[in-house]
A and B are shown apart, each in its own frame.
Chain A
Amino acid sequence: MSWLLVACGPQRLPSGLVYCSEGNPESFNPQLVTSGTTIDATSHQIYSRLIDYDTQSGKLVPALATHWSMSEDGLSYRFVLRENVKFQYSSRFTPSRTFNADDVLFSFNRIIDPQHPYHWVSRTGYPFFQSIGFAKQVKEIKKINDHEVIFYLARQDASFLSNLATDFAVILSAEYAQQQLALGHPENVDHFAIGTGPFTLVQYAKNEYIRYRRNPDFWGEPAKIDMLVFDITPKSTVRLAKLIAGDCSVSALPKAGELPVIKQHHDLIIESQPGLNVAFWAFNTQKPPLDDVRVRRALAYAVDKQNILRAVYQNTAIEATGVLPPASWAYDNNKGLNDYNPQKARDLLKEVGIKNLSIDIWAMPVARAYNPNALKTAELIQSDLANIGVKVNIVSYDWSVFSQRLSRDEYDSVLIGWNADNSDPDNFFTPLLSCSAMQSNNNRSRWCNRQFDAILDRAREVSTQAERKAIYQEAEAFLADQVPMVSLAHAKRVALTRSNVQNMQLTPFGGISFAHTSQAPLEAH
């Protein structure tokens, strides 16, 4: 009977916030991945970067670097580092010194120097840095003194600072790394993370949860919540149910079809913000007949994007006319470049002389911010293409298998997308469609065009925004002509919160951050 008595007492909850996240992180070091799930769980919780984006204005603000300056020739950047920044401690590691230039050197040399003892500890490489050619871009990083470093670049690059402010460019502890290397477990550095961010990683239970505690020594304004828990819940409906039942306070990635249900509950709030992302349909341009630009154009004309916006996004997204979304400063409405025109598509195919064309569309099995339901999108494209006499076979695997096989060049076309990591427009082109992106398998179109790379290089070398915008529009026109992929939509970023959660800031790009979030106490029920 005793438990019956217990059940009548008032219920008290430890203070903290539970976030229903959509999946397991692949690693706890954002340098090694590009997946949004991992970034959400690590980048802004455990780590800090040299510089950050201000979430409101999108401008660069100091983080671990308090000042920075560019030399006149644009080839070197000098950073003055913040003093008295303490690293987190764990059962494995107690820091003996504060953050200094050695940590910066370690964090970046690991990526650019193949001789570095930690370079090969990552089995997955450094996909973001490889896709932007970071190792070629940075010639050397020099320590001036404990609190000053200089980055020497091989060529001018207007996107360099933006790249340092991305979620991937986190600062690790060199001391921790040395200690673990001496113990013979270098992989621990990426698994049992130590950083300088607002939260300390406490425990990760696969398929269940990730637990963090507030870092009391955080260099910035300390986090308002004592404990942060990521409740790993892959199913979108279950996340919603948990949010309604109060098991979590914030929930990730709702499906568009669930939004009406949320509106019925007055204690739930939908936070949304135009996102810096793009969902696209990439053609494997190395595989016939998709190596023929006329075939790609024909397929692009055949897709009714409005229909996809209605059925898949329930009108929560806007039609993509190019790669860049309207939230980017380099955006221009390019409507009319590749509009829906099935007749033109049929004519083009007739001109090429292809009959009974049949292609595979790979649809990713998971919801992403840019595309909540790739399978449905694939089905819609299937019926669009049936209209012009092309047969479509839809292929899908579970996510880990899907991404592995995608790296192997055996697909015809794939429905996938991109979430920007910073507000620089270069982030939409170089990591996705450049030749270096092809080597790191991030270029899903497997499309390497020297002419296009030259345009991108040019855009990075000039520094006024107006000039850069003009060049990026040139790049958009080039893409519209060559059609390595068809951009479909730019989705809004959406998160659901309970009404007692405050300051849950969604940024148009990058991972989620709980550094400023607070929660009014829950009433017992």
Chain B
Amino acid sequence: MFRYLLRRLYLFLATSLVMVGVLFYTTGLFPVERSFALTGIHAPTANQLVQIEQDYKLNDNQAWQFFAYLQQRLSGNLGVSVTSNQSVAEELSAVLPASFELAIMAAIIAIGLGVPLGVLASQSQHKLTQNTIMAITLTGYSVPVFWLGLYLSLWFGVDLGWLPISGQLNLLYEIKPITGFMLIDILLSESEYSMSAFKDALLHIVLPATTLAVLPFTVVVRSTRSAMMNVMNQTFIRAAEARGMHTSTIILRHALPNALIPVLKHLGLMLGSFASYAIVVEMIFSWPGVGSWLVSGIYQRDYTVIQGGILAVALLIIFLSILIEVLHTVFNPLSRKDLYAAS
């Protein structure tokens, strides 16, 4: 197991290195001065210029420059934002929690509803129920997220006036960021309005989280269903049935844990598309997370923000994919066996 983990770690480092390399190369293609694209300082003073040349080894060859770049980025120096002159790392840490908050909410919705529905679809004897669930998920899988987001905000926000459709919170509530997670910060705040603010924040997260949850939800339902059908036909389940165990016990204790392993793998494979969905959702609902920060950076040609955003999102995806693979192996002894056989 230790060797396996070490190899995954190498994989993470190697993939990240290639990614940073690509980022370094494309930074050189920005149509501006190299020192400007790297640091975001528009009109550096003579001292700053010397410092930049030293930091990024601009007078050396490409290889040295790459190592200097790597060193700067790894030590957390992402430069300053071209438009606001604030440190990109600070801006990034201010927007990351909002994205996580939205992602966690969407994951709760997708898994909390998707797994039971998938089990139901696999166990139902009615062709009608099965087909209905499959039809709904297929529709959800094919609906473009930008259309869905806009229509949900049109229906529930503009026409019915039930739910707010942009931002995290009515701005009149003044909540000091402590953890960066809005819902937690509200509970921690001592404002007399904290209960109303909490309700307001929940209402604000409903539409974006639902929109973002649709795609993973359909993936969870469909893969849970097929995995369950697969597992339920295996001999150990039939053995359990023969022993006279209750169906619900069989499903919950024996079938589902085994069925969830491929579901996890499926979700891991789709992380990239979930991330791009999240960016679109954040844009539609003006959610102040990494996605909308990155897109507005692109519109404003904020080169340092673009690099910082891509770096953060890509690293996160690489890390999570590998984490899911490791979890998959931990929970699934069969795949470990494959691994040992191969090595």
Interface residues of A (CB under 8 A from B): 3, 6-7, 9-16, 18, 24, 123, 205-209, 211, 227, 229, 231, 233-234, 238, 241-242, 244-247, 398-401, 525
Q: Which residue of A lies closest to B285 (CB)?
A: A238
Q: Which residue of B lies closest to A10 (CB)?
A: B196
Q: Please, which residues of chain B bring their CB within 8 A of the CB of A211?
A: 171, 174
B84 pairs with A241, CB closer than 8 A: no
B301 pairs with A401, CB closer than 8 A: yes
Query: 3 closest pairs, A vs B, by CB?
Result: A229-B171, A16-B172, A12-B196
Give complex CA distance A9, B196 in Å. 8
Q: Please, which residues of chain A bring their CB within 8 A of the CB of B161?
A: 244-246, 525
Give complex CA distance A6, B299 in Å. 39
Known A14-B173, A238-B286, A398-B299: A206·B91 in contact at CB below 8 Å: yes
Q: Please, which residues of chain A bring their CB within 8 A of the CB of B171?
A: 18, 209, 211, 229, 231, 247
Which among A15, A207, A231, A401 is the interface contact of B296 at CB below 8 angstroms? A207
Which among A206, A207, A398 is the interface contact of B301 at CB below 8 angstroms? A398
B83 pairs with A206, CB closer than 8 A: yes
Q: A199: shortest Cβ distance to chain B, in Å?
A: 14
Can you identify 16 A-B contacts, CB atoms within 8 angstroms? A3-B198, A7-B203, A11-B200, A12-B196, A13-B173, A16-B172, A18-B170, A18-B172, A24-B84, A211-B174, A241-B157, A245-B164, A246-B161, A246-B164, A399-B300, A400-B301
Which among B83, B166, B174, B300 is the interface contact of A241 at CB below 8 angstroms? B166
Q: B30: shortest Cβ distance to chain A, in Å?
A: 12
In the complex, whether B165 has a CB less than 8 A from a CB of chain A is: yes
Give complex CA distance A325, B299 in Å. 34
A233 pairs with B198, CB closer than 8 A: no
Q: A397: shortest Cβ distance to chain B, in Å?
A: 8
Give complex CA distance A208, B171 in Å. 9
Which among A6, A13, A241, A399 is the interface contact of B193 at CB below 8 angstroms? A13
Pick from A24, A231, A245, A400 the residue with the most CB of B within 10 Å: A245
Q: Please, which residues of chain B bring their CB within 8 A of the CB of A6?
A: 195, 198-199, 202
Give complex CA distance A247, B158 in Å. 12
B301 pairs with A9, CB closer than 8 A: no
Q: Please, which residues of chain A bring their CB within 8 A of the CB of B202?
A: 3, 6-7
Q: B192: shortest Cβ distance to chain A, in Å?
A: 8
**Further pairs besides A3-B202, A9-B196, A242-B165: 9, Cβ < 8 Å:** A11-B200, A12-B193, A14-B172, A14-B193, A206-B86, A238-B166, A241-B166, A245-B164, A246-B161
Give complex CA distance A258, B82 in Å. 33
A233 pairs with B199, CB closer than 8 A: no
Interface residues of B (CB under 8 A from A): 42-43, 81-84, 86, 91, 94, 153, 157-158, 161, 163-167, 170-174, 193, 195-196, 198-200, 202-203, 286, 288, 292-293, 296, 299-301
Give complex CA distance A11, B296 in Å. 33
Q: Which residue of B lies closest to A244 (CB)?
A: B158
Q: A217: shortest Cβ distance to chain B, in Å?
A: 21
Which among B83, B157, B173 is the interface contact of A24 at CB below 8 angstroms? B83
Q: A440: shortest Cβ distance to chain B, in Å?
A: 17
Q: Which residue of A lies closest to B163 (CB)?
A: A245
Q: Please, which residues of chain B bring their CB within 8 A of the CB of A18?
A: 170-172
Q: Please, which residues of chain B bring their CB within 8 A of the CB of A246?
A: 161, 164
Q: Please, which residues of chain B bring their CB within 8 A of the CB of A16?
A: 172
Give complex CA distance A103, B173 in Å. 35
Q: A265: shortest Cβ distance to chain B, in Å?
A: 9
Q: Please, which residues of chain A bring their CB within 8 A of the CB of B195?
A: 6, 9
Q: Which residue of B lies closest to A233 (CB)?
A: B286
Q: Which residue of B lies closest to A17 (CB)?
A: B172
B158 pairs with A11, CB closer than 8 A: no
Q: Which residue of A lies closest to B153 (CB)?
A: A241
Q: Please, which residues of chain B bring their CB within 8 A of the CB of A207?
A: 288, 292-293, 296
Known A242-B166, A245-B164: A9·B83 in contact at CB below 8 Å: no
Give complex CA distance A101, B174 in Å. 37
Q: Please, which residues of chain A bring their CB within 8 A of the CB of B163?
A: 245
Q: Please, which residues of chain A bring their CB within 8 A of the CB of B173?
A: 13-14
Which among B94, B164, B172, B288 is the interface contact of A229 at CB below 8 angstroms? B172
Give complex CA distance A46, B196 in Å. 29
Give complex CA distance A15, B196 in Å. 13
Q: Please, which residues of chain B bring their CB within 8 A of the CB of A11?
A: 196, 199-200
Q: A244: shortest Cβ distance to chain B, in Å?
A: 5
Q: B21: shortest Cβ distance to chain A, in Å?
A: 28
Q: Please, which residues of chain B bring their CB within 8 A of the CB of A241?
A: 153, 157-158, 165-166
Q: A203: shortest Cβ distance to chain B, in Å?
A: 9
Q: B124: shortest Cβ distance to chain A, in Å?
A: 28
Give complex CA distance A399, B300 in Å. 7
Q: Please, which residues of chain B bring their CB within 8 A of the CB of A229?
A: 171-172
Q: A20: shortest Cβ distance to chain B, in Å?
A: 10
Give complex CA distance A525, B163 in Å. 10
Give complex CA distance A400, B86 in Å. 17
Pick from B94, B165, B170 the residue with the most CB of A within 10 Å: B170
Q: Please, which residues of chain A bring their CB within 8 A of the CB of B91?
A: 206
Q: B76: shortest Cβ distance to chain A, in Å?
A: 20
Q: Which residue of B lies closest to A18 (CB)?
A: B171
Q: B92: shortest Cβ distance to chain A, in Å?
A: 12
Give complex CA distance A296, B296 in Å. 38
Give complex CA distance A206, B94 in Å. 11
Which among B42, B86, B165, B300 is the interface contact of A245 at CB below 8 angstroms? B165
Q: Please, which residues of chain B bring their CB within 8 A of the CB of A234?
A: 296
Which among A13, A205, A401 is the interface contact of B170 at CB below 8 angstroms? A13
Q: Please, which residues of chain B bring their CB within 8 A of the CB of A247?
A: 164, 166-167, 170-171
Pick from A14, A247, A401 the residue with the most CB of B within 10 Å: A247
Known A14-B173, A14-B174: A245·B199 in contact at CB below 8 Å: no
Q: A320: shortest Cβ distance to chain B, in Å?
A: 31
Give complex CA distance A93, B105 in Å. 41
Q: B46: shortest Cβ distance to chain A, in Å?
A: 15
Q: A395: shortest Cβ distance to chain B, in Å?
A: 15
Q: A308: shortest Cβ distance to chain B, in Å?
A: 26
